[in-house]
Structure 1
Amino acid sequence: MAGLPKLPGLTFTDPTLTSYHLSQTFSISNGYKIPKNDYVGIGNRELDSNSVKFISTNDPVRFDPSLTYGRTKAIPVQMFKPHYALYDQKCLTFKAFFKQGVAESPDEYYRVRHVNIIYFLEDDTITIMEPRTPNSGIDQGRLLKRHRIPKSEDGEFWHWKDFGVGRNIVFYGVVYHLVDCDTFTREYMASQGLVMAEPEQLPPDPYTQNRLMKSHQNNFTKTPSADDKFRRFLEYDGKILKFKAIWDDRDSEYGEIRKYEVLYFLADDTVAVKEIHTKNDGRDPYSQLLRKTKLPKIWTDRPAHFPSIYLETTDEEVTEFYQPKDLRVGETIFVLGRKMLLYDCDDFTRNYFKKALCMEQGPPMDISEKPKPPPEKKIPPHDGIGSLEDSLQNTLTFMPKPPRKDVVKQILNANKYLRYEMKMDDIHPEDSIRRFLLLYSLGDNTCKIFEPPIENSGIIGGKYLRSTLLPKPNTNPLDPEYYSPIDFYIGATITVFQQRFIITGADLYVYRYMQANSSKFPCEVIENIRNYMFNKGYLKDDIEKQVEENKIDIEKAERDAIGKNLIYTQTEMEKCLERFNIKDEREDPTFQKEYVKEPLVIPEHNVPSFGIQPVNNECPYPITTPPIPSLDCKSEAQRIASTEYDTEEEKIKKYYDKVLREHKHICENAEPQQPPPEDDCLAKERKGKSVKFDDNVKCE
C-alpha cells in the first residue's frame, strides 16, 4: 500500500497504530536530564534511519581498518543538547531607566524610575523588574510580564542583538535607556561579536533625592540620647510634676475660662493634660484633653500646602520638646495650639525644682474672677399715680410690695406733733390776715396744715394740706429731700407746693423736744426757738430755777473766799511731796486742763442774726479734789499693810486714779458729788478737842 498514489479512496489507516504521541528525548535521573541514544517514532515505530536500508555497503566483517591502519583512539561522542536546554536559566540583564510624567503635583514634574531588563536566552522572552524603594507609594516589582515583545508591526520581535549599553529601546510606547549590564551579559555579547560600551551613571530621582537630603539633615541635628531609659524608669517611675493651668478661651464665641491639670512624667518626659470638671458644668465627662505623649515646643516651618487635614506631623518636624525647666508658675505654655497659663503646682514639684534644678517656683497666682459691678439700676420717672415711695418700691421687686415703715418709731412717737404757726408770704392784700398751723408728725415725718377760721372775713378755714411728706423745692424728683424739724425756726421760709409760708411761732413742746434731743438740731436753731420762747414769756420757770442756781453759786463763792485769808498749814504728806519735788498735775503749766473737742460740722441755715444769745455749757456739778489723807494717824499694822509693797510714787498714783474714777462717774451719771469722809485726826484738830490715842497710834 505504500506504493499506492495518494488519491482519495486509496489511503488506509494502520489498525495496529494506537499511540500517536512523540517519545521523549530525555530521561530524568536523580533530577538530571539524560539524553536517550535510541529514538523511536510516533507510536513507538522504528525510524527509517535505524533500518537495514541505511547500512553501509562495506561489510565491516570483511573490512577492518584497524587491521590496516592500526587501532585508533575512540573519540567520545558529544552529548546532544537542544537549544532550550543549552540556554536554560541563562539571562542577559541590563540596567535602564525611564521618565514618567507627574501631573498636578507642586513637588515634582516627573519621576526617574530605575528598572532591570532581563532577556531569557532560552526562549527569547523579556521581562522588566523595578527594585523596590521604601516609602515610595508606588506599586513596584514586575512592571512587564515575561513574554516575547513585538518590535514592529511586521511580526518581528526584540532580539538580544538589538540590545546595547547606551541605546534606547521602546516597549509598548515606553522609552527605556540602557546604561549598564552585568558581567555575564558583557562576556556573552562579546562572544557573539558585540562589544558593550562603558557603563553610564543612573540619573537620580529629584523627589527621592530631596527626601534623602531632609533625612540626612535630621540625622545631623539629632543625636541619640545617652540616657538609660531603664534606669530612669526604675528611678523616676511614679514621680510626676503636677501643675494647675487655665485656658482662657473667652475670645472665641461661647468661650470661657477652663481649668486643667498638666502632668509631667519624669520617667519618660511625657506630658498629659487632664480636664477638671465641676458639678453641673454642662460638659462631657472626658477625663483627658491630651493623652500621655511628648509635648512639642518648637515646630519646623511647614509649607503652606501641607495637607494637615489627612496627614499628621511626626517627630521629624519637631525641633524641641517641653522639658521640666520650661514649666514655671506664671508662664504660658502651648499645648497643641492652646495657650495655657500655669498658676500653681504641688509641694513635690516645688521641692524637685529647688533640689534637682536649683530653681524656685513662683508663688501661686490668684485666678479668681473679680465680681463684676452690678449694672446701674435706672429708676423710671414717677408717673404721678400714688406716692413716690410706693412707686419706687414697685421697681425693686417683681411682686409689688408696700413700702416698709419704721414701726418702732411710730409706736414711740405716736400722736406726737411739733406745732408751728405760719403766715402766707402774701402777694394779695386779702391774704395778709390768714394764719396757718403746721403739724409735723414725729412718727412718720409727715406734715399737715390747718387754717383756723376767721369770723366775718369770708375765710372758712379747715384742712389746707392733708398728712403728706413735704418735699423741698429744686430737689431731685426721683430722690427728693423732705422738710425736717431742723428747717423749721422762727423767720424761716418754707415752700409748700409752690406756695411760700413764713414761720412766725412755735409751741413750747417744740423747745422741750429740742432740749431733749439737742444732738439732732444745730445750736442756731435751738437758740432761735429759745429766744422766741423767752420773749413770749414761756420760760418763767426756767428763769426762776436759773436764778436760784446763781444764788447758790454766789453763796458758795463767798464761803470759798473766806477760807483764802486763813493761814494754811502744810500736812506731812504735802511736806513729803515737796521734799521729793513732786507736784500736782494740775499745777503743771503743760497739763491739759480741758479736753479739746473737735468742731462739729453744722449745715448752714438761713437764721436771722437777731435774738441769738450765747449758750452756757458749763458743768452744773462743780468737782473738787479732797485733801490727801495723812498716813501718820494710822496704826502700825495699817501703815505696814499700805507701805510694805508700795512706794511713795505708787501711793500718790493710786490716790489720783481713785479721784479720777470718781470724777468720771459724776460726769457720766450726772450725780452730785458726796463729800468725802474727813480724816479723824484732822477733824478733831479742827474742833480743838483732845484725842486719846492708843499705844499703837501716833499723832503729831
Structure 2
Amino acid sequence: MKRNASLPFLPGFTFNKEVGKTKFHKPHLLDYNRDVMIVNEKIKSGAVGRPLPGSYKTMYSSIHSESTESRFPAWIVFDKQVLSFNAYFQEMKHGSCQIRRCKIFFYLEDGSIQVIEPKERNSGIPQGTLIHRQRIQKSSTHDDSFYDIADLNIGKEVELFGRVFKIIDCDRFTRVFLNRIGIPVPDPVQCPEDSYMKIREKEKLQLEASKPPRTRHSLAQFLAHDRQVLRFWGYWDDRETPHGLLHHLRLHYYLADDTIEITEEGNKTEGLEMGPVFLRRTKLPKNFSTVGLPGDDFGNPLTVLNVLGHSFKKGHYIYDSLSSGRNDLGSRYEYVTDKDLYIGAALDAYGRNIVLTSCDPFTQEYYRSKYGYEDFTPAPEPRASEREKHLEIIKSSKVKVLPPYNGYGSYEDSAQNCHSIIVTPPKKDFKKFFQMDRQGSDSHLLRFEARMTAPHQSSVDQRFLITYYLSDDTISVFEEAAKNSGYFGGKFLKRIKIPKPGEELFSSTPPEYYLPKDFYVGAALVINEFHFLITDADEYTLNYMEKNCNEFSKSNIRLILDKLREALQPIYKDFVGKYLCIDPDQTGLITYHTFWRSMKDVLGDKITDQEILTLARAFPAKTGSMDGITLAQLRPLVHTELHRNLFHEYDRMAEDLLKRDITRSGWLTKKEIWASCRACQIPLSLDILDAVIERLDRKPNDPCCFSYSHLLQFLDPKELARKIRGHDAGKMKKKDSVDYAELLKCLNLEEEFLKQSK
C-alpha cells in the first residue's frame, strides 16, 4: 500500500507495508558462487522482500558492462567509502532568516545518509548530529524510492524530514568519484550571508556601548592571561665576592597573577651545587629593604589588627578596613610589573642585582603590541674572567678517547660497547634507511661491472658485479661464472662496509669508508687488497647518477662541458678539422669509440670514462625515421622510457580504453587510442607513440580501427619480462653514434674563435 503524499511523514500517518503479504518466512539471503559469498539475486532484484542494506545497488548505470562488474557485495566493494557534501538550511529566528551550515554524508556501502552540524562554542542552539545514519525515502514521490547518488550534487536541494538542504560544495574524493561514474560536478556555490547573525552582532555592539563601565573582577586578569608567560634571560655578576661566578639566569613573568620565577642555567663542570630554582614563584618587591617580621605576607593585601592587645589570653583580631600603613596601590610594597621588564633593565631580587639581556619571540610580540617597543637587540654580557676561561678550556678538552679497535665485529659495534656497560647494538640511521630503501621499481641500488687488475689478475677474463646499497652504504661483490674457465662464480664478498685503502684499522678513530661518489666508470677500487677497475654500469645507475648530479660530479653535464670548453678553447680549430676528416659526408655523427679516443687525446687523464659516457648519453644520435622498424624492435625502446619515467598507470589506461569502447567490440580508432594515451600521460614521444599505434592489429573489415587489447599487451611489463629477459635498450653501446655537431653547438666556441681570427 502506497503512502498518501498529502499526509505528513510522521509516526501514525503511515501504513503498514506488510498488508496483503501471505508469506512471512525468512528469505535466503546469502549464496556462494565460486567460493565467494554474494547476495542472493532474488533479494538483490527485490523479488523476495526488500533488498538488504548490504546488497545496496545504485540506480545509476555503470560505465562497465554486466560481465565486467564485480560480483562482490557492496559492503565489501564500498567499505569505508563515504561521499561528503557541504550544505546549509534556513531557519526563522525572531523574524529573520538564520543560515545553519552542515555536512551530508552518503555511505556507498548501503546508501544511508547522515547529516551533522559542526558544533560552535556558545552558539546557544543544539548542534551535532541532526539526522542519524539511515536510508531516507523521498517525500516528493508516491513510491518507496530512496535518495541515491544521482540526487546529491552541488546546487541541488534535498528535503530530509521536512528540512530543505542546499548543497554548496563537496570534498575531492566525492568530486573524483562522481566524475568517474559519469556524473558531472559543478563548481562550488557561495553560501548566502547570515542576516540573523548580523543583527545579533549589531545588537551586541549597541548593548556593550550602552553599558556603564564595570569594575574589574579579581579573576579577570587570570582568565585573560592564563598560561601566558614572558621569558627573559639575564645574569647576576657575583665575581666580586670570594670564589664568585657569573650566574646565567632565566626569568619567567606570569601574566595571570604578576608573579616572577627565576631559575639558574648552570654548568655541571663548574663544580657548584646549584638548585633548580633561584627564586620561587612569587611577587617581587621593587624596593626591598629588610626581611619582614614573622607573619608578614607580601602577597596578602589585608592587614590584621589585634584590638584587645596581649593582656587577654586569646585576643581579638579584625581586618584593618582603613588600610593603615599601605601605599596607594593597596599593598605594603610596590611590586615589579611587566612594564618594569625590558632588555637592559636591572632588578633588585632581595639584594641581588639581576640584569636582563634578551627575551623570546612571544615576549617581543607582547611588548611590540602593548607598549610599541621595536628594539630588542640583546644586551652585552660582561667578559669572562680568567678562571671561567680556564673552565671553558677544561670543558672543551674533555673529549672521550675510545680504546683501539680490536678486530671483533664492526668498528661501530665495538665503539657502542665502550660508551655503556650494558651491551647494546649500534644505532642505525633509520631516516636514511627509509629514504633510500626500495620504493616500488626504484631500488636505490647502484650496480657496476668490474674486472680484476694486477697483481691478482688471472689469464681468464673474470667479470664481477659490484652492488652499492644506498640505504646503509654497504657493498657486495658477485663473480660471474664464465664457461670453461674453471671458476664457479657466486658470492665473492658479502654485504659489508669497505674502508678505503691506507686507513689504519686498529686505531681509536673510525676509518673512512667508500661513499657513492667514489664509484663511477673508470674508477679503481681496492677491496680487501683486491684491485678492481669499474668498466660499466647498468641503466638505472647511470640515470640515478645523472638525476642526482649534485652528489655525483662525474655525471654532472654542466661541469663536464665547462672542463671540455676550457680545454678546447686554444685548439678549437684543429679539433673541428679533425672531426671533419673523420666525417667526410658531414652527417654530424661519429662512433662512440672514436668519440672516446678524441676526448682522451684532448684531456688525457683529466677526463674519466664516466664523464665521456655522460657526454655521449647527453648528445646521442637521433633516431630518424621509423620506417622498417617492427613492433618487436620498438618494444625495448618503449619499455625503457616507461621504466625510466616510473610509469605504472596500466590499470587506469585499461579502464579509460574500456570506457571509450561503448559497444565492447575491442576495437577503437586511432584518434581515440591517441587521446587515451595522452590523457593517461604516457611518457613517450609523439613519433614513437604514432609508430606503435600504426603497428597494432587492425580490424579485418575496417582498417581504421585498431585493437587496444594488443596495445595493453604490448605495454604490459610482465609480457616484456617473458619476451626480452635481460635486454637493456637504454645503455650506451660502443656501436652507438654520438651527435658531435650538437655537442660543438652547445660548447658555443665558434663565435669566440671568429673574434680571435679577426
Fold equivalence (TM over 0.5): no
TM-score, normalised by the number of residues in structure 2: 0.24
Instruction: Give the structure, 1 or 2, with the largest relative contact order (CA under 8 Å, sep 6 or more).
Output: 2
TM-score, normalised by the number of residues in structure 1: 0.26
Q: Which structure's CA Rg is the greater one? A: 1
